[in-house]
Chains A and B, each alone.
Chain A
Amino acid sequence: METNGASLTPQQALAAVADARAQLAERPVHPSWYSPARAVVLGALVASFATADATVMIAAAAATLVALMALSLAARSRTGTAVLSDRRHGARRALDDYLSMLSLFVVLGLLSPVLGGPSWPALPVALATVVGMTVSGRRHERALQADLRALAAGAVR
């Protein structure tokens, strides 16, 4: 039945599986530019809240969605793999932290016109969003990679 690839002993087959998973675990989960670029997009969204103009904010939210989808497509196209967090362990927690931090910045951005007039707090909040989401995004990437390594080592199925 098999015409390509020599047959393997059970031990060799298990080793081949471990090797395949280990090789995948060593590939970058995302390109290095992905987290900073995504953070800049989110920072721009938060900055748009300073206008306190519903039309501007809705347009910014739509543009953000499009930009995030384009970034995601470009990133997976670059790496050749798509690794999400929903089935994993440490990465799931890191993603929860990421989303919590994003929620905090969004709330701060929305409050900034109320707290300090039309614009002044928005810029620091937007800058904090870029820095915070970059750091949190990198942490999520490291957690994903750690989960993949654990899978390769047989600790997680």
Chain B
Amino acid sequence: MSAVDVEPRFDEVLNAPHRLRIAALLSSADQVEFGVLRDHLAVADSVTSKHLKVLVDAGYARLSRIPGLGGRSRTWAELTGAGQRALRGHLADLQRMVEAARAVQPPGPGAP
């Protein structure tokens, strides 16, 4: 994950593993159906709803009801511009932390 031209910014909302996974999925597609998100997380509908609501309340995601096959409406989620920016900043911060941890690791036993 390249962090070039993105300011690292830790995001408390995206620090939750399920919400980070949802945001990652939404950042790849324009819209993702609720059932796909739930299946990916392998959790109950209520858990998926709860995390989506947190993302929506933070202004990071948007939900819409779109008619599906047979006229039954389904819930679709998409990442907002603010959500995209927050995810990029958070990923850049994670990358920065990983690189910082590598930099302070002591050299291995075979090192000169």
Count of CB-CB pairs between chains A and B under 8 Å: 104
Q: Which of B66-103 contact A (CB under 8 A)?
A: 66-69, 74, 76, 88, 91, 94-95, 97-98, 101
Which residue in A1, A11, A81 is a CB contact (below 8 Å) of B98? A11
- Chain B residue contacts of A24, Cβ below 8 A: 25, 28-29, 32, 40
CA distance A123 to B36 in the complex (A): 42
Residues of B within 8 A of A (CB): 1-2, 6, 12, 15-18, 20-21, 24-25, 27-33, 35-36, 40, 43, 47, 50-51, 66-69, 74, 76, 88, 91, 94-95, 97-98, 101
- Chain A residue contacts of B47, Cβ below 8 A: 4
Interface residue SS majority, chain B:
helix
Q: Which of A55-91 contact B (CB under 8 A)?
A: 73-74, 76-78, 80-84
The minimal Cβ–Cβ distance linking B66 to chain A, given in whole angstroms, is 7
Q: Is the CB of B66 within 8 A of A73?
A: yes
CA distance A18 to B98 in the complex (A): 15
CA distance A82 to B21 in the complex (A): 17
Interface residue SS majority, chain A:
helix
A–B Cβ pairs within 8 angstroms, 19 of them: A2-B15, A4-B16, A5-B17, A13-B20, A14-B91, A14-B95, A17-B24, A20-B25, A20-B40, A23-B40, A25-B28, A73-B68, A81-B31, A81-B33, A82-B30, A83-B28, A154-B1, A157-B1, A157-B2
